[in-house]
Amino acid sequence: MAHRLIIVLLLALSSWTSVHSEVVEVGHQPPLFELLDEHGEIHRLEDLLGRPIVLYFTHNMCHYCTQIIAFLKRAHASHDGSDLTIVTINVWAKGKKLISRYKEQFGLPFRMLAGKNKQLLKDYEVNYVPIVVFVGRDGLVKRIYHHYILKHDFHASVKLITEEG
């Protein structure tokens, strides 16, 4: 009898976990998060939804990331920050030290958040960087690029989220 109860509890727990675990997926709302910036201020993804958003996951030693930073800077400049929100997430950073170094080294004009958070990394399936997630005005993920993105694909994805109704 005890074995049956344990099996039932394990099955119930496993089904609850699969129903309630959020993993980033195209066509769905991105998993929500609250992360700190280099000034210790909390930023919530929920507060940004309704605008086109580029979520960019990186860390300080990422070789491929420097080219994507150039794409991000061009997109930021061409949209003047008015109709595109770019959020960089440093997956090694717990606090402001690594964020400040990264922002200074690459001259980032947009926010960077401390992303060394187990649930965030699980929700966004961060096993490596870079990862770029494009979220539309409707609050749904439109595209996800793991590891690398070509210039053409990056700009087409920005156009998709900024020009949609």
pLDDT 10s digits, 41-74:
999 999 999 999 999 999 988 888 888 999 999 9
The CA angle 18-46-160, to the nearest 5 degrees, is: 90
Number of domains making up the chain: 1
CATH at residue 122: 3.40.30.10
Query: Domain for residue 1, yes or no?
Result: no
Strands 85-90 and 141-146: unpaired
Query: Domain for residue 125, yes or no?
Result: yes
Query: Domain for residue 52, yes or no?
Result: yes
Q: Which of 161, 79, 91 is nearest to 119 (CA)?
A: 91
Sign of CA dihedral 17, 18, 20, 26: positive
Query: Domain for residue 134, yes or no?
Result: yes
Sign of CA dihedral 116, 121, 127, 130: negative
Statement: residue 5 has pLDDT above 60: no
pTM for the whole thing? Answer: 0.85
Find the domain containing 78 and state its range: 25-163
